[in-house]
Amino acid sequence: SIPNATLLLSQTVLNLRKPGQTSLFEKLTGFKHHGSITAPQVPKEALLYYRYANSSYFKKVIHVDTTRALDGTRYNVAMQLALHDFFKDHQEALLYVLNSTRVLFYTAQLDDVFPAVKVDQSFKKLQWRGYEAFKGSQRMLWHRDNNASLELLGYLRRAGALLYANVLIGGHYISLDRSSAVSELYSHFLKVMKGPPALPIPGQTYGW
């Protein structure tokens, strides 16, 4: 049943446990953090962020009641999603989005919950209007500020109105791990995807 499957997943790798519970992933690896396959603990930067975001000062700045806690309802929300959303087929909705609007789709290289390789394999099987163009697209190097002498942030592929990226050195909490890279990715997407969604052209390549 779905409840039983959800319970099993919550005890293996998904971050759906209550405080004090230990997942199978943690028992087998010794990791205390589910965000990355290379980081056994939550990064200090992330801990500092949570501390700051939960401070009375920050809550006042963004007009949030001081009694509210960041991620305070995460477990309840995650369990509701697991019970009513995770095990449903959303392919029709995804295909509708891919076929009708501009899309930024990105994965994290070190994500241990949704491995980038598996996501990429699944995406290539989707029969959307840009299927052929995406299958034949070339992976491009993505450097900071479009400067090859600066840090390599990841890899990009484009097919019509789709920009597909793999962000390097990022885990499941990619916006915390690689916030500057994700911000640059958003900015680039908004700049290059102006105007109506373009029809994908098989074999066509796009520069950064």
Question: Of 129, 109, 131, which is closest to residue 119 (Cα–Cα)?
Answer: 109
Q: Please give the model's pTM, rounded to 2 decimal places.
A: 0.82
**Residue 15 pLDDT more than 70?**
no
- Which two tokens mark 207? 């520069």
**Roughly what angle, to the nearest 10 degrees, separates helices 74-84 and 2-10?**
140
Domains of the chain and CATH, by start: 2-84 (no CATH), 91-192 (3.40.50.11320)
Q: Tens digit of pLDDT for each residue in 107-155?
A: 999 998 889 999 999 999 999 999 999 999 999 999 999 999 999 999 9
Helix (H, G, I), strand (E, B) or coil at 140: strand
> Phi and psi for 114 in degrees, rounded to 5?
-125, 80
**pLDDT of the residue at 84:** 82
